[in-house]
Structure 1
Amino acid sequence: MFEELSLHERLIKAIDSLGFTQPTDVQSAVLPLAFEGRDLMVSAETGSGKTLAFLLPILQRCVEQSAPRSGTRGLILTPTRELAEQVSATCEKLASFTRVNVLPVCGGENYQNQTAKIRKNPEIIVGTPGRIKEHIERNTIDFDDLEFLVLDEADRMLDMGFREEVLFVTDACRKERQSMLFSATLTHRGVGDILDRVLRDPETIQLSTAQTEIENIRQQVILADDAKLKEKQLAWLLKNESYDKAIVFTNTRALSDELGPRLQSQGLRVGVLHGELDQPQRTRILNLLRDGRINVLIATDVAARGLDIEGVDLVINFDLARSGDEHVHRVGRTGRAGREGLAICLIAPNEWNLKASIERYLKQTFEKRTIKGIEGGYTGPKKLKASGKAAGTGKKKESKKKPAEKPKVKKRLRDQKQVGKRRSKPTPISDDGFAPLKKKQ
């Protein structure tokens, strides 16, 4: 029970209003250590409740220890605007019975309006690294009084190329602070590189790996000859599979924009989400999906992390993810919080090896599936015919070697002229080296 964690009564009231009854595993593991002021490095599966795990300690400090003249006390960095808006909304709900103010600071909003809001001195800021860095450079924001720093989805921020921005922001923060880093996997190639500059003697909490994140997700592959056949298979799946909401992932914005209208023309309720859309457009699409006015989202990887949308029970990879980690984050949009989900990958010939590497990373083999009537001719890479001892099929055939030919000797012209002519016997030589004289007859 949350009461056992000694939370402030106003926070308990907010938690009850949200319908949370008892802490999740990650909250039970994180909250006691966070209340002690420890720096933490946490890995937990998608949908496990880690947002509350880092918000409650910040709110608890703000409620218990009022500091009306201080600057921003808590900073939460997220990889995307969508996740920042989502975390900010959750924080506002938890702080609804307190006087703590929360402000999202992301790109896509008018800079001057944003600066005016920052001047009102919110206790907690949730933002993206690029826009926060811009405010620091323009001296419109400072973190001299910062008490808490949180990196949410740290591995995703590094994957998106925000390493320099993240380190710029963290270096600008007050050194005497409590820091927490949350990542889908602590073995991510880039996370270890920034730990020494962000955390001090951190406690490690690892509740999941890439393999455990997808335990409740059934994974299938459907082979296709090309993108044209993939599109037919995608339309069939969206019309015939049972689902409440579905997300279709592509690797490019252009393809998302092409697929959306073509699927809409077939009567499907589809929206498109990618980084080229401005913030109001992105917010509108997500609200349409959450409200059920559309039930299919065509998206690039901007939606692969952090979006918590209820009822997503089908994920289709039109384009295969470029790495095992990215695949986990995509399919993790379904099967959240212990529920079952279905993830389907449409595989073209040039994606077979990538599929195999993802299977090795996850230590599992995806279920192969076909759709009657729209099967492709591609059935996987052709197996090379093995023979002899290497194949284990019989004795090694002995090669029949031709007898070695005598080397050809080049004939000299003068030798050819002498062919057929009788050779004279050589004149005997005497012992003293001179030819003996012929006797006269």
Structure 2
Amino acid sequence: MFTEISLNPRLLLGLEKLAISEPTEVQSAVLPLALAGKDVQVCAETGSGKTLAYLLPLLTRLLDNEARPNSGTRALILLPTRELANQVHKVCKLFSEFVRPDSGLICGGEEFRYQASLLRKNPEIVIATPGRLVDHLKRGTCDLKSLEFLVLDEADRMLDMGFAEDMDIIISACNTERQTMMLSATLRHEGVGRVARKMLKEPAEITTRAIEEQHDLIVQQRILADDPAHKDRLLVWLLANETFEKAIVFANKRSEVERLSEFVRRHREGVAMLHGEMSQDDRRYVMQMVREGRRPILIATDVAARGLDVEGMDLVINYDLARKADEYVHRIGRTGRAGKAGLAISLIMPYEWNLKASIERTLQMMMQPRQIDGLVAAYKGPKKLKSSGKAAGTKKKKDSKKDGAKKDARKKSSEPRRVGKGPATPKPAKRTNLMDGAGFAPVRRQKREPDAE
């Protein structure tokens, strides 16, 4: 129960309004340590309640300790994507009715001048994405010297997206006397350990379920396809015949997302798309339509793989297979949330077979093979090499020795005989009926016979 944890009473009122009474596993582990002021490194799967795990102790400590005179921003929450930043900001605003600390959202897609004016008001909590925050730091519109709390959520994702240098710039601009919490879905990422050593001081390490673990409530299937046109037919069939409240289709490229959204709209209604080149207003509109059920089918790139918490997302289709195991797990993690069952289907073309096998080895699981009547692929997977057994292998080995001996005998017979210690005299080349390999026989002058009289 949250009542057994030393949270600020006003936060308990907010939790009661949100009908949240029991902490999750990661919240029970993190809250006491974070409230005690310890640096924390957390590894937990997507959808485990990590947001409240760091937000509740952060708000409690801001409420219980008055701000220093003329201090600036007191807490920074850094996130990899706009969608995740918006989600955390939305949770903060839910508690604004009961708590004093105000929050500001700083991410791409918003007007820079508006954000600069927001930062001049010194919001106690700044929720930001790395790229836009670095822009403000370079222009001097953001001051982190008074920072008391730093949270890096989805740190592994930020590193994967190429924000390592931006993270170093941000960390160097922060007050060194601060409490830091770093959260990620995996500990296997090389950069996670490097960042942790650099920014955390004797952290308490907490691991619930690692990203590599199989999602028990998610049925994972794979369907073989011969080519993109075959994948298109499979996708339309699945969206027409599977039972789902909401579905998300993943493609690896923006151009493919745009093509698929146009294609699926010819067969189904309620289709939306999401990719990184869309404006912030468009992305918010799309997600609002998906959450309300007016667009139950979302076609997206990996920008939607993390940070989207949409209820009723019970079908995931990997039109393009994820490039790495952790991205695959984050994709299928959109379903099977909050104890509900989900279905994840991957469409596999011949060139994706090895990638599928690599993901299965990493996650130590096997996707269930599936076929659809009338849409069965000619491709059946890689051909297995026939083995003739141990006896056959032995015989083959002996035969190979005999063949080698015969080759050596032929080689010795063809070598010119050496006399003394001088160099071998090369054998004269045999005359051939071919001229320069051209394929023509030379014309031989025949002896002319006397004309018959």
Q: Shared topology, TM-score over 0.5?
A: yes
TM-score scaled by structure 2?
Answer: 0.87
Identify the residue that residue 19 of structure 1 maps to in structure 2: 19
Shift of 1:394: 7.5
Name the counterpart of 1:47.
47
Question: How many pairs are equivalent?
Answer: 410
Whether 2:305 is the aligned partner of 1:336: answer no
Matched to 2:129, the amino acid is: T
What amino acid maps onto 2:12 in structure 1? Answer: I
How much does 1:378 deviate?
0.4
Q: Which residue of 2 aligns with 1:104?
A: 105
8 Å contact 2:79–2:128 — kept in the other structure? yes
AA aligned opposite 2:331: R
Where does 1:194-273 land on structure 2 (aligned, <5 Å)? 194-212=195-213, 214-273=215-274
Whole-angstrom distance in 1 between the partners of 2:189 and 2:207: 13
The answer to whether the 8 A contact 1:185-1:208 is kept is: no
Letter in 2 for 1:347: I
Q: Secondary structure at the match of 1:272?
A: strand
Tell whether the 8 Å contact from 1:38 to 1:178 is kept in structure 2 after alignment.
yes
- State whether structure 2 residue 66 is matched by structure 1 residue 66: yes
Q: Summarize the Cα distance change of 1:293–1:23 in structure 2 as closer, same or farther, 3 Å threshold.
A: same
Report deviation, 1:267. 2.3
Contact 1:213 1:332 in 2 (8 A): no
Task: Output the CA distance in 1 between the equivalents of 2:153 and 2:258.
Answer: 29
- Secondary structure at 1:337's aligned position in 2? coil
* Residue identity in the other structure for 1:234: L
Match of 2:421 in 1: none
Letter in 2 for 1:379: K
Q: How does 1:27-426 map onto structure 2 within 5 Å?
A: 27-67=27-67, 69-212=70-213, 214-387=215-388, 389=390, 396-397=395-396, 399=399, 407=413
Alpha-carbon distance between aligned partners in 2 of 1:133 and 1:300, rounded to the nearest angstrom: 25
| Contact kept in structure 2, 1:324 and 1:361, CA below 8 Å | yes
SS of the residue 1:205 aligns to: strand
Task: Give the secondary structure class of the aligned counterpart of 2:190.
Answer: coil
**Superposed CA offset, 1:386-428 (max 9, x none):** 3352xx667625537569569369899xxxxxxxxxxxxxxxx
Contact 2:217 2:340 in 1 (8 A): yes
Give the whole-Å Cα distance in 1 for the aligned partners of 2:114 and 2:193: 37
Q: Is the 8 A contact 1:313 1:342 kept in 2?
A: yes
- Distance in 2 (CA, whole Å) between partners of 1:229 and 1:410 is 63
Q: Determine helix, strand or coil for the equivalent of 2:395.
A: coil
1:22-46 per-residue CA deviation (whole Å, 9 max, x = no partner) reads 1111110000000010000001121
Between Structure 1 and Structure 2, whose CA radius of gyration is higher? 1
Q: Which amino acid aligns with 1:85?
A: N
For structure 1, the residue ranges without an aligned partner over 5 or more in a row are 413-441
TM-score by length of 1: 0.89
Show the counterpart of 2:438: none
Counterpart contact for 1:46–1:213, Cα < 8 Å: no
Aligned partners of 1:388 and 1:345: how far apart in 2? 35
**How many percent of aligned residue pairs carry the same amino acid?**
53
Structure 1 position 384, deviation (Å): 2.0
1-structure distance, mates of 2:326, 2:293: 29
Q: How big is each residue's C-alpha offset from its partner over 1:276-299, in whole Å with a ceiling of 9 and x where there is no partner? A: 101001111000000000111100
> Residue 213 of structure 2 contacts residue 363 of structure 2 at CA under 8 Å; is this kept in 1?
no
CA distance in structure 1 between the partners assigned to 2:415 and 2:12 by the alignment = 105
Give unpaired runs (5+ residues) of structure 2: 418-424, 426-453
Aligned-partner Cα distance in 2 for 1:74–1:408 = 85
Map Cα deviations across residues 291-318 of structure 1 (whole Å, 9 max, x no partner): 0001111000100112111111111110
Structure 1 residue 213: Cα displacement: 5.5
TM-superposition CA deviations, 1:312-350 (whole Å, max 9, x none) = 111111001001111111111111133221111000000
Shift of 1:10: 0.9
CA RMSD of aligned residues (A): 1.9
Once residues 409 and 329 of structure 1 are traced to their aligned partners in structure 2, the CA distance between those partners, rounded to angstroms, is 66
Task: Report the Cα offset of residue 70 of structure 1.
Answer: 2.1
* 1:91-137 Cα deviation digits (max 9, x unpaired): 11123212221111001100001111111211111110001111111
Equivalent in the alignment of 2:443: none
Distance across 2 between alignment mates of 1:357 and 1:371: 25
